[in-house]
Structures are given as structure tokens and as C-alpha cells.
Chains A and B, each alone.
Chain A
Amino acid sequence: MAEPAIVAEHLVKRYGVLEALKDVSFSVPEGEVLGLLGPNGAGKTTAVRILTTLLRPDSGRAIVLGRDVRDDAARVRASIGLAGQNAAVDENLTAHENLRLVGRLTHMSTGDIKSRSDELIEQFSLAHAGNRLVRTFSGGMRRRLDLALALVHRPPVLFLDEPTTGLDPKGRTDLWTVIQRLVGKGTTVLLTTQYLEEADQLANNIVVIDHGSVIAEGTSAALKGRFGSTVIEVAFRDETAATTASERLAHVGTVARDGSRLKVSVSDGAPAMLETVRVIDGAHLEPTSMALREPTLDDVFLALTGHAAEEPPVEDDVSEADLARRGKHKTA
């Protein structure tokens, strides 16, 4: 097998006492998309900054297309594109001028810059606004231009740091289409996101990261197999009813109880829902509400770490054994 396009090996980065990354490793094979999934402050951006030469790791190695980001930063920069969390566009230039700026700074020939920016303007549906000042652009247009700027010099490796944050649902799905088209052309992509759905839509592989550590990784299907692809939520009037129901529903899926509410993670939504109704009815319990929904990042985190995504962990380091113990405890 060929060497992966992106390799992160035992990356560690500290800011004073805060450990932004504690021994993070992952790799992205050429032409594939890796989704780095985690809540705010998990260390996603730190990892992207190290891989894009913006930040030096305290220890560990970062390799892009066979080149160490520390020893060969200039060549790494020539082969990567970065679209960060802010749309980093010059507001007082037009879309065309922004593209020309990046084209010149990446040392492309004048003719190539011209044809490439026309191509990108077209591809990103900005043709109507190519000669307008960017400060008149909507949020979605800025994001599209930002992504176009990352692609001017045709980088074979692309880093997208939360590319759809702040976009409305339409803007988000539009950007997904654009990213999917790029991947179709063979670009290797590292994508960070807080949205499970986004990682699911775009990535071949997902690495879940929390408090600077990788807590799970695998294909979207494999991860869903682990924590269920659908969530059934049932609420009761009191905890006694919820406890009784959680014991009887153990065969349906992974059950987590929070007070008088139950979350059942299942792999097959409709039959599981039917079974849940039968069990609850059979036990003569009266739920106050029942719902079937897609799992969120919170569900993944609850299943993987026992804590919700935005909350601080109970302990600093959650070991595998700890995880397993908690997992059993939850379903007991």
C-alpha cells in the first residue's frame, strides 16, 4: 500500500498547563477524506495548524506527502490548501482579485492565474459576483470564495477546518456538494467538524477526538455499529418507570438513562421502535413522549466517554478500561 498523504504521529502540543494535544496519531490515505470529529476545544484546530506548518508540535511528527512539516515547511505549503474557521478573504478586493492575490503568492504564471480563477469562480457559483467587492458578499458566498482561495494552486492535499460553521442549512449542503466534487477528483482532504452528520456525509474515515486525545476511529458505518445509527428517546413521569423500562429494553439496543428519560441507541430504527412500543406497553408503563431521531455528536460522546460533548470530563484521563466499565454500568 502506498504511503498515506497525511500522517500525524504522536503529536503533543501544550499551551502552558493546558494540553491541547496529548499523543494524537492518525493518517489519511491519498485521495481519501478523514473527518476529525470533536467538540469545541477538543484539539482539532491545533492538529490542523501543526499539519499546515502554522504551529510547531512539542513532540511527535507530522508528514504531508512524505515531507516533514518542520524540516520541509516551504514544500509542504506548496502542496496544501487551507480553509480555516474564519472566511479569510480580503474584503476590499473583488473575488477575482482575491484569487489573483493567492495565485501570485503561490507563484503561478499570469496566464495560469487568469484561467484558474475563471474556472474557480464558475465552479463555486460566484460568476455573478466575480467583480464585486467581497465586503458586499453573504456569509455563504464568503465561505465559497474562501474554499476557492484554498484551491487556487491546485493543492493535492486540502485542510478544511470546520468549513460550514456559521452557514445556514442550504449553505451547508451546497458546500458539501462542492467538497464531494473535489474529492471525486482525487484530492486528499482532512476535515474537522463538530457535526456527526457532516463527517458522515463527507468522510471515508472518522477520528473522534476529545480533550486532545483520539477516543475512537473507524468508518462511519463501523462507528455507527458501535453506538447505533438511530436513537430512540423515551420520557417517563418518574425514575422508577424509567428504570424498569431500561432493564426490559436492554435487548433492543444500548440504553442510557438520565433521570426519567431513556436514550436507546439502535442500529435499525423502525423495527426497534416497534419493539420498544411493545415492551413498554407489555410492562404497562406510560411514557410521556417517544421520539426517533438521528444520533448527534452528543450521543456519540455519551456512548464513547460517558459524558456529553460540551461538558468537562469527570476525570482528566479516560482510559479504555474506564470506558468499558462505564459502558457496562450504563446498560446495567
Chain B
Amino acid sequence: MTTTATTSPVPVMSDARPRPVADALTMMWRNLVNIRRNPQLLVLATIQPVIFVLMFRYVFGGAIGGVSGVPYVDFLMPGVFIQTVVFGSLTTGIGLADDLNKGLVERFRSLPMARSAVLIGRTLADLVRNILVVLLMCAIGYLVGWRPHTEALAVIAGIAMVVLFSYSLSWVFAIIGLSVRDAETTQAASFPILALLVFPSTAFVPLHTMPDWLQVYAEHQPVSVVVEAVRDLTIGGPTSSDVLIALAWCVGIVAVFAPMAVARYRKAV
């Protein structure tokens, strides 16, 4: 069944050997083109982060003065970064639900491509998007007065932490998207999780302003832990333990939720 002549009437079967890396990159390309062409996703990736930065900076910034000796904008920006990418990681679930709904996953599964490529290509595309989103927010933040207090390397590590956290959450929302199979329902089903992660946290307000019972949860939940680590890396302070715990959260979330997402994907069609 193999032939080299392009004009041969004998059907040429495609190569059945797995190419997981090439397939994942192809899927990433396809998903990135989709983000660029889908107005809703594009707004989510560009205009929304800008609005968040400006709103938090100017609406809440006036009400809350400096926190622990640094200007509120410097305290706030790590929280806005994390909040934006947490909401943004929802698009992983929305995209997968949409692909399932439209029969595209069925098409992909009938092709001789690596099974892993649909999920990995999707999360990688969202990772690229999140990197661009965070860089955009850094630029807007700088314009409105955000100034890191640490060395360049620490700031880069802080940005990397934000992006890594968003990648780990992509796997959580992938499971929701694969389970509910519909973009709108994915959004609705994810909102309680997003709200519980983002609002009872130290993203926007210091821990000591919350009631005692809430502090227990707010101090140890992953958003707070990662936000504190990013603050350490951009404002300064005793970094190592916060950063290590934050890293452990990111790795732990991927280790638990990625296999669950893969299992869900296998059963999805």
C-alpha cells in the first residue's frame, strides 16, 4: 500500500506511526488561530485584562491605602494577574466543550493522530495566550504606576509563576468542559469554582481584614498561596517557602487533574 508516485491511482494510506509532539503542535496552531479569529476569545484575552487592571487600580485603589508599607498598586497587581489568568483558564474548558459539541473531537479521534494531542495542544495554546495576556497586563500595569521592587530575574520568575498556575488550572476546567460538553454550561458550571478561588483570597485585600473563620480557608487556598509567592517575587520578602508551596500546588494540580482529564477524554465520544 505504499507508493511514491504522486499520480498513482493506488490509494496512499497515511503514516500510522504516532507523532505525539508534531500532533500536539498542530493542534496548538489550530487553537491559536481560533483564539485570534474568535471575537469573544480575543476580547477575553485582551480587553478584559486591561479593564481589570484599570478598574482595580482606580476603583479600589482609592479606597485602600498602602498595604504593609508598599503602594496598593504594587500589592494589587499580582492579585489582578492571578485573577485574570484564573478566569482565562476557563477558555480551555469552553474550547473542548465546543469541539465535542460540534463533532470535531469525533473527527480527531478517527484520525491516525496521537490521542494526547487534543488535550495537550489545547492547554499549550492557552498557555501561549496566557503568556501574552500577562505581558499585556505588565505593560498596562506599568503605565498606571506598578513598579516591581525586586531584580529582573525575580520578576520574570513571578510572571512564570502566574503562567504556570494558569496552565495547571486549564486541566481542571478541561474536565468540566469534557463533562458538560457545551460552552455555555461549562461557563455556568465553572463559575462557583472560580468565585470560591478568586474572591475569598488575598488577591485584592490583606488577610487580616477578613473574619477569623474565613482566614483559615483564605490563607491556605491555592490562589492566595500563588498570589503571595508572586508578591514575594515582585515586592520582595522571604521568598523560598511561599514559592515552593506555590510550585507544589501547581505541580500537584496537574498531577491530579491531568490524568482525570485524559480519562474523561477517552470516554467523551
Instruction: Report A174-193 residues with CB < 8 Å from chain B CB.
Output: 185-187
For A107, list chain B residues within 8 Å (CB).
14-15, 17, 19, 22, 112-113
Q: How far is the CB of A44 from chain B (nearest CB, A)?
A: 15
Contact A78 B16 (CB under 8 A): yes
For B117, list chain A residues within 8 Å (CB).
105
For A47, list chain B residues within 8 Å (CB).
none
Contact B18 A74 (CB under 8 A): yes
Q: Out of A78, A86, A93, which one reaches B112, CB within 8 Å?
A: A78
Contact A90 B104 (CB under 8 A): yes
Could you give, for residues 235-272 of chain A, a 1 whenever the CB lies within 8 Å of some chain B CB and a 0 otherwise? 00000000000000000000000000000000000000
Could you give, for residues 111-136 of chain A, a 1 whenever the CB lies within 8 Å of some chain B CB and a 0 otherwise? 01001000000000000000001000
Q: How far is the CB of B42 from chain A (nearest CB, A)?
A: 11
For B19, list chain A residues within 8 Å (CB).
107
Question: Which range holds the interface residue count of chain B?
Answer: 20 to 34
Contact B109 A54 (CB under 8 A): yes
Bound Cα distance A52, B13 (Å): 15
Instruction: Report B99-129 residues with CB < 8 Å from chain A CB.
Output: 102-104, 106-113, 117
Say yes or no for B269: interface residue by CB 8 A criterion: yes
Bound Cα distance A133, B14 (Å): 27
Instruction: Report B176-196 residues with CB < 8 Å from chain A CB.
Output: none
Q: Out of B9, B26, B102, which one reaches A105, CB within 8 Å?
A: B26
Q: Out of A79, A82, A91, A97, which one reaches B13, CB within 8 Å?
A: A79
What are 15 residue pairs bridging A and B, where the CB atoms are less than 8 Å apart in the complex? A53-B109, A82-B106, A86-B102, A86-B103, A92-B33, A92-B38, A93-B33, A105-B23, A105-B26, A106-B111, A107-B15, A154-B13, A156-B11, A156-B13, A186-B11
Q: Which A residues contact B (CB, under 8 angstroms)?
A: 49, 52-55, 74-75, 77-80, 82, 84-93, 97, 101-102, 104-108, 112, 115, 133, 149, 153-156, 185-187
Q: Which B residues contact A (CB, under 8 angstroms)?
A: 1, 6, 9, 11-19, 22-23, 26-27, 30, 33-34, 37-38, 102-104, 106-113, 117, 269
